[in-house]
Structure 1
Amino acid sequence: MSETNTTSFMNPSTFILLGIPGLETAHVWISIPFCAMYAIVILGNLAILFIVKKEASLHEPMYYFLCMLAVTDLVLSTSILPKMLSIFWFNSREIDFNACLIQMYIVHCFSAIESGIFVAMALDRYVAICHPLRHCTILTNSLVVKIGLVIVLRGSILALPYPILTRQWPYCKTNIIAEIFCAHVAVVNLACADTRISSYYGLFVLSCRIGLDVFFITLSYIQILRAIFNLPSKDARIKTFGTCGSHLGAILAFYIPTLFASLTSRFGHNLPRYFQVFISNVYLLVPPMLNPIIYGVRTKQIWNKLLQLLTHKGTKIFS
């Protein structure tokens, strides 16, 4: 490594992102599935935003939250994918110190926002199933806007200490990050100081995102299941629970990889480095890719509207 990478310094001007350590020769091939995933993220989430905007019947709280989720997924994936692909394709490994902190902030901010949106969607399902006649009067547009603002504000505040704490540490080990993006744990581990406060804060945010949010989601679904089991017929129970299918699928696709990646980064020191890096990217890329697929296929209104648009365009092309 160059001498500048190991010389003592207080604040490096740049960091070096290694990509996937141990698999450098396969970077071009690895980029193919990541590029395909990014294309699905862009096309799928833009399609949802377009359909909800064009279809007046979808101007409801559930679809407003779904649009928030689509925007969040677009920002989250775009914050890391372009740089990742530049590493894979052009070996462009340098990232400015401030750009690294901004990337770190965006990743943690929008991950927290996404988690909050799932809580809001669980609330929407609870009101729709447990209080169907009052759904429109309870979840008014003004309340949806307020909930959205609270979610964004919470995510913004929770993520703020990450770059602030990271900036204050002295870095005298190396400026090489064995990651594809500026992961908080990977950057903090380069500091030559007692960084326990950063680790403790990371665990606190993790407990908020996974512990507290999952608690409220679970509480909502306990009430939902009680309401479903009180329905008179089996068909009614299956049909009502089916309306929650897409939401449950998206929740599992988000929280399971997030929990696994967080635990792996902190306690999976015996795992191969390339496996840890791969997992840390899966939790950021797979949910944004799966969400439009899950909601597009499972949500009848969106699926029907998409088929109408595709059929209409296909008819115009061949007419």
Structure 2
Amino acid sequence: MFQGFRDSNSSMFQVSEFILMGFPGIYSWQHWLSLPLALIYPLALSANILILIIIKQEAALHQPMYHFLGILAVVDMGMATNIMPKILAILWFNAKAISLPECFLHMYVIHFFMFMESGLFVCMAIDRYVAICRPLHYPSIITDSFVVKATVFMALRNSLSTIPVPVLAAQRHYCSKNQIEHCLCSTLGVTSLSCDDRRINSVYQLSLAWTLMGSDLGLIIVSYALILHSVLRLNSAEAASKALSTCTSHLILILFFYTILVVLSITHSASKTVPLIPVLLNVLENIIPPALNPMVYAFKNTELRQSLYKVLQLDFKNN
């Protein structure tokens, strides 16, 4: 239902709320998607909480590498929790209405956590670069203080650079339609409803993505190129294999994270003909990494896996 009010500063009629329609093209049976999503969400939360418990309890994991992993777990939980309650409310209770301030806040948090995840991958790549390429300097460079400073820098960078996204969206006039063909307050979905010029929104959105994500991905590529160059110079095949094994889990997560982003960017151009695909990818980008990240690290990282077995065995004995 269209709801709105007359803007006192103009003759335009301003909507008072948006309606998140859900997944385009499958409205009649989209509630069935709640089944896998309702399973993935608690799985993501429990897996990341378990990672935090293990890192806290095991003294052997009190290292910068695992501190970054713990921060990533917190970001993943925030990313999933920001979107899943609203999506499940839409699918289960048809609670599609969302106020404009709530929608703009939702938009801000989505961008913040997405850029935060990207920034943490950069920090973890730098950690692996120093550990493998400059092992003698690792204890003096990658310290607890470095972890704190890097995390604070990324948080400030992402929070400040993301502020214009909802601010610019809030300055648009929404006067004709209020139904968003999405289950999230995506920037493109919201601003496409505006009745005035939205080019500045698109330009800033594109510039922000290229500046932050592009620079992050560039630093990651450079870090791993230097790591590969250093590993290939090792005389021992065993040492080279051990060095690369410490990066395997990180590389898997990076490839998955940025691959979805690239595919999402490409499919936006086809959103008019197949609107479901970018919406579904947008949701998966926010829920799959939080569920996947702790599992990949638990299976691919020997120290973390051994600590997991140790903690679980202690719990079983206590029970």
TM-score if structure 1 supplies the norm length? Answer: 0.94
Partner Cα separation in structure 1 for residue 155 and residue 5 of structure 2: 39
Superposed CA deviations along residues 37-90 of structure 1, whole A, max 9, x for unmatched, are 111210111111111111111111111111111111111111110000001111
C-alpha displacement of 1:10: 4.9
Q: Which of 257, 262, 266 is the matching residue for 2:260?
A: 257
Partner Cα separation in structure 2 for residue 262 and residue 134 of structure 1: 39
Letter of the structure 2 residue corresponding to residue 137 of structure 1: S
Secondary structure class of the residue paired with 2:55? helix
Are 2:287 and 1:285 aligned? yes
What is residue 212 of structure 1 aligned with on the other side?
Answer: 215
What is residue 63 of structure 1 aligned with on the other side?
Answer: 66
Would you say the 8 A contact 1:175–1:190 is kept in 2? yes
Letter of the structure 2 residue corresponding to residue 314 of structure 1: F
Would you say the 8 A contact 2:21–2:96 is kept in 1? yes
Are 2:77 and 1:91 aligned? no
What is residue 317 of structure 2 aligned with on the other side?
Answer: 315
TM-align CA RMSD? 1.7
C-alpha displacement of 1:185: 0.6
Aligned residue runs from structure 1 range 226-265, under 5 A: 226-265=229-268
Q: Which of 115, 123, 128 is the matching residue for 1:125?
A: 128
Partner Cα separation in structure 1 for residue 71 and residue 64 of structure 2: 11
What is residue 147 of structure 1 aligned with on the other side?
Answer: 150
Letter of the structure 1 residue corresponding to residue 207 of structure 2: F
Q: Which of 30, 39, 44 is the matching residue for 1:41?
A: 44
Distance 1:29 1:41, change over 3 A: same
How many residue pairs get aligned? The number is 315
Secondary structure class of the residue paired with 1:95? strand
Query: Which range moves more in the overlay, 5-14 or 23-32?
Result: 5-14
C-alpha displacement of 1:33: 0.8
Letter of the structure 2 residue corresponding to residue 110 of structure 1: F
What is residue 303 of structure 2 aligned with on the other side?
Answer: 301
Distance 1:9 1:289, change over 3 A: farther
Would you say the 8 A contact 1:6–1:174 is kept in 2? no
Would you say the 8 A contact 2:177–2:193 is kept in 1? yes
Partner Cα separation in structure 1 for residue 158 and residue 30 of structure 2: 33
Superposed CA deviations along residues 126-183 of structure 1, whole A, max 9, x for unmatched, are 0000111221111121122111110000110121111100010011221111101100
Superposition misfits of 4+ residues, deviation over 6 angstroms: 5-8
Distance 1:59 1:220, change over 3 A: same
C-alpha displacement of 1:5: 7.6
Aligned residue runs from structure 1 range 75-224, under 5 A: 75-224=78-227
